[in-house]
């Protein structure tokens, strides 16, 4: 058995869903699109900043010869539904159910690397997941994991697009695999289904218009996107739900999934302290942006869920003046939930004292909407 077959067997034992091999040659073809995304303001800002390092593997590992690409499939459906306790619930996208996938992939790649070290002398490697230098999707495509769909996601026949990706840049000399021989064809469903038209149709996107980005960005969420997130407080997988390759896909959970965290109760979520948030949600990938941004999203979700039981909590958020972004978002949420505000509410909103521009803007918008409704 050659080393390639041995590594494949090891990957299977470790719980890696799919593995592929490609050369450590440069990804020169990516440079133009990567630079254009930055220059045109279409990148999220979360990406590795050095474009040279993104397209040249040898800048990460000087001895690089082969990149081992791995995929770990994750589920698209909750194994069980949360209890019904009377609260409206938000949604966290499937990529953030259970333990943060960065930890899962890093652990599996380290296991694989340690096992490879037992097979060959002088093994050198550099592991990467998501936030590393290389473009995971480009590596996976060239290594035969799947093709890059019009959604920008890697898609395989076996697991659809529900795969976490990572890679080991190594000094091994291994025969490369070939890209898969299937693709999107004429299908354009994800491009048409995207509620913000962020997908360009060639596998690239305006990342700043993606609802997943919007749920992670700081500050106020632009008015254009608030209703479009519906009750999702982290992520977006609309382009995955409509993809024909995902039809019938039922990947098993990698780790235990708590449905109470995957679909958290929105009003109790707003009550969480920093410590409680870290204790309950700290292991989720969604927690990386912190409590405040997700609570902002939960306020929006309550409005989108038409949850009038949230009105007292929204008034409390405004009255306490602890977080201006939460205050401003709560004023907007009230404008959605209270169609005919009484004089007490109008006086309360009008009397808000602040110099914060977002709070002022939402206060003025609330009063304008209220006056227009009275005409």
Return the active site residues: 130
Contact residues for 334 (Cβ-Cβ < 8 A; gap 6+)? 311, 314, 315, 318, 341, 345, 349, 366
70 DSSP β-pair partners: 19, 166
Residues 155 and 245 sit within 8 Å (Cβ to Cβ): yes
What does the alpha-carbon distance between residue 292 and residue 270 come to, in Å, rounded to a whole number? 9
| Residue 27 φ/ψ, nearest 5 degrees | -105, 60
265 DSSP β-pair partners: 89
Cα angle 184, 187, 190; round to 5: 95
Q: Which two tokens stand for residue 99?
A: 């333990």
- β-pairing, 125-128 vs 147-148, is unpaired
Task: List the helix and strand counts (H, then E) for the chain.
Answer: 17, 8
Q: Considering Cα of 226, then 227, then 231, then 232, what sign does the dihedral take? A: negative
Beta strands in 41-175 (DSSP E): 66-73, 91-92, 125-128, 147-148, 154-155, 163-170
Q: Which helix (H) or strand (E) holds 109?
A: helix 101-117
Give one DSSP letter per residue of 155-205, joined into a string: EBTTTBT-EEEEEEEES---PPP---S---TT--HHHHH-TT--B-SSS-B
Cα angle 289, 134, 195; round to 5: 50
């Amino acid at each position: 058995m050659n080393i390639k077959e041995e590594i494949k067997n090891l990957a299977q034992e470790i719980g890696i869903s799919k593995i592929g091999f490609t050369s450590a040659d440069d990804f020169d073809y990516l440079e133009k699109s990567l630079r254009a995304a930055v220059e045109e303001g279409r990148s999220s800002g979360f990406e590795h900043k050095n474009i040279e390092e993104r397209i040249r593997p040898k800048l990460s590992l000087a001895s690089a010869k082969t990149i081992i690409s791995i995929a770990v499939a994750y589920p698209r459906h909750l194994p069980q539904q949360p209890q019904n306790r009377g609260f409206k619930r938000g949604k966290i996208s499937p990529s953030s159910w259970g333990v943060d996938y960065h930890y899962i992939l890093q652990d599996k790649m380290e296991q694989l690397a340690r096992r490879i070290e037992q097979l060959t002398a002088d093994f050198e490697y550099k592991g990467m997941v998501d936030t590393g230098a290389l473009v995971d999707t480009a590596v996976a495509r060239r290594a035969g994991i799947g093709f890059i769909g019009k959604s920008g996601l890697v898609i395989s026949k076996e697991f659809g697009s529900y795969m976490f990706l990572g890679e080991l840049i190594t000094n091994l000399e291994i025969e490369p695999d070939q890209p898969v021989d299937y693709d999107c064809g004429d299908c354009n469903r994800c491009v048409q289904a995207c509620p913000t038209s962020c997908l360009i149709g060639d596998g690239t996107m305006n990342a700043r218009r993606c609802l997943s980005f919007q749920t992670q960005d700081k500050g106020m969420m632009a008015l254009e996107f608030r209703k479009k997130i519906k009750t999702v407080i982290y992520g977006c997988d609309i382009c995955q739900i409509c993809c024909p390759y995902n039809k019938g896909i039922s990947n098993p959970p990698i780790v235990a999934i708590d449905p109470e965290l995957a679909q958290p109760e929105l009003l109790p979520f707003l009550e969480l302290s920093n410590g409680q948030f870290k204790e309950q949600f700290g292991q989720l990938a969604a927690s990386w942006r912190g409590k405040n941004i997700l609570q902002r999203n939960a306020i929006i979700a309550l409005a989108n869920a038409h949850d009038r039981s949230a009105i007292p909590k929204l008034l409390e958020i405004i009255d306490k003046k602890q977080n201006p972004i939460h205050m401003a978002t709560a004023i907007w949420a009230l404008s959605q939930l209270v169609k005919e505000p009484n004089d007490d509410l109008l006086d309360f909103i009008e009397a808000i004292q602040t110099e914060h521009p977002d709070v002022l803007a939402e206060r003025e918008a609330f009063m304008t909407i209220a006056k227009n409704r009275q005409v």
